[in-house]
Structure 1
């Protein structure tokens, strides 16, 4: 049986919703198996009794009750061979089978890249500690990514203008509503190392969208001899802790390698935005 996922989505309620194109009806007792990459842990969910002769099927699996731990989980379909079943059945290229007619397992192919930034933005509006995302692997198979998440300020644009550092983005996992309400907020820059030094400026937060600008002259004046990294954060009234600025919602890893911002000079000192290995934004001041 050949199965291809044509549409994959994790809904706002953390339900894995799949549209399947299938060559044959799902066999009775078919299970969706999620196997953790590297660790080998597995969970299995029964997909119900076989249906009518169809070429498409929909599957919905609630992920929260499965207690998936952070990591990447590959998807398989599995069903048991009947006792005394035929040997020599043609196998798909990627298939696992236990000895003595054990469960027959096929890795699930996928043609949906699972990328919609609008959908990911909407998902990130809820207050969460775990985030789930369905995606297509480089080799064209279905997988689910599970990650710990905390409230943060997701960066969408960074630029320099008239001696100012400016940034816009989206508040993620805060539980704030995407409406026209305004929240008092401040952008803060703090030294990544050395004595505590902070430079702050008023920021604008409307619903879940933010914009902030901060004078680079104030940064240099705070520590004229300092060269190194500064950590930006957004302090929003109503939230317990400052929000780190980063870029994680789109799930494109390695922004330190992929994203290069133009630098500027203030009184001859170079200033450049950059990302850390875990995709948090920094300002690099000096050589």
Structure 2
């Protein structure tokens, strides 16, 4: 069919905007077919418009009305004959663009991306307010973390919000004041307080961020970027406090944890 996607973006209004290099105009009746990898369910959208020979084409498809369920949807074009999977040269990643998309309050998040084999696909996930982690480090006996408040509806401005960081392990909890300005957060917490709260100095600690104006504490995770499987791919430096090893890590679903003590491994 001679079609290559050169730019793919899901806009702030959840519209899939595509720019394509084409050899021939899209014929009348051409369909965009989205196929769910897990179930095989399909959604079809008419695209074709008769016209003169062209080297480029742009299409826009509103994703909300298609009732797409969470998961990954592969993109195909179909005219009169067999469907053709859509090739893409756009990596589909811009952290600035993803940050802007995450500022709105959403229940579903859509993302266009290029697969490892070079094809266009859509990733869809349920969205709820979260504290998206951007940096983690240890300094002067403190655990520090910074990031972005996502899907909260907060404005990216200079307004300060009262907040606190909590670390929980079994029945123990350590709390510290956090700084939230607009949608950016920073928090620091004493690791000596963490060890004092656990007599055996061992366990998995789960952080959360409570922010004024939000109904529930926010989990600390890292889901906005395109790095999946962070437990295998992202490794932060560990530290020792009074001889006890402490290491930040991610769970299988990219949630941040603190592993305290030897031989710990987050679920």
Deviation, structure 1 residue 224: 2.4
CA distance in 2, matches of 1:283, 1:38: 33
How does 1:51-70 map onto structure 2 within 5 Å?
51-70=51-70
Match of 2:247 in 1: 272
CA distance in 1, matches of 2:83, 2:219: 43
Match of 1:120 in 2: 98
Task: Give the direction of change, closer, same or farther, for the CA distance of 1:160–1:219 in structure 2 (3 Å limit).
Answer: same
* TM superposition score normalised by structure 1: 0.90
Deviation sequence 1:235-269 (CA, Å, 0-9, x none): 00110110010111003111000011111111111
Match of 2:265 in 1: none
Q: Give the 4+ runs in structure 1 shifted more than 2 A.
A: none
Match of 1:248 in 2: 223
Q: For the Cα contact (< 8 Å) 2:111–2:122, is it kept in 1?
A: yes
Match of 1:97 in 2: none
- Of residues 228, 238, 247, the one that matches 1:263 is 238
Match of 1:105 in 2: 83
Q: For the Cα contact (< 8 Å) 2:23–2:53, is it kept in 1?
A: no
- Of residues 140, 144, 147, the one that matches 1:169 is 147
Deviation sequence 1:180-225 (CA, Å, 0-9, x none): 000000000001xx3x211000000000000000000111111222
> Which structure's CA Rg is the greater one?
1
CA distance in 2, matches of 1:65, 1:265: 52
CA distance in 2, matches of 1:38, 1:15: 23
Match of 2:31 in 1: 31
Corresponding residue pairs, total: 262
Match of 2:123 in 1: 145
Deviation, structure 1 residue 231: 0.2
Q: Secondary structure at the match of 1:171?
A: strand
Deviation, structure 1 residue 11: 0.2
Q: Secondary structure at the match of 1:104?
A: coil
How does 1:33-52 map onto structure 2 within 5 Å?
33-52=33-52
CA distance in 1, matches of 2:3, 2:48: 16
Match of 1:211 in 2: 186
Q: Secondary structure at the match of 2:231?
A: helix
RMSD in angstroms over aligned alpha carbons? 0.9
1:77 aligns with 2:52: no
CA distance in 1, matches of 2:49, 2:66: 21
Structure 1 window deviating more from structure 2 (37-46 vs 181-190): it is 37-46
Q: Secondary structure at the match of 1:279?
A: coil
Task: Structure 1: state its 5+ residue gaps.
Answer: 81-102
Match of 2:14 in 1: 14
Task: Structure 2: state its 5+ residue gaps.
Answer: 263-267
Match of 1:178 in 2: 156
1:224 aligns with 2:199: yes
Task: Give the direction of change, closer, same or farther, for the CA distance of 1:226–1:268 in structure 2 (3 Å limit).
Answer: closer
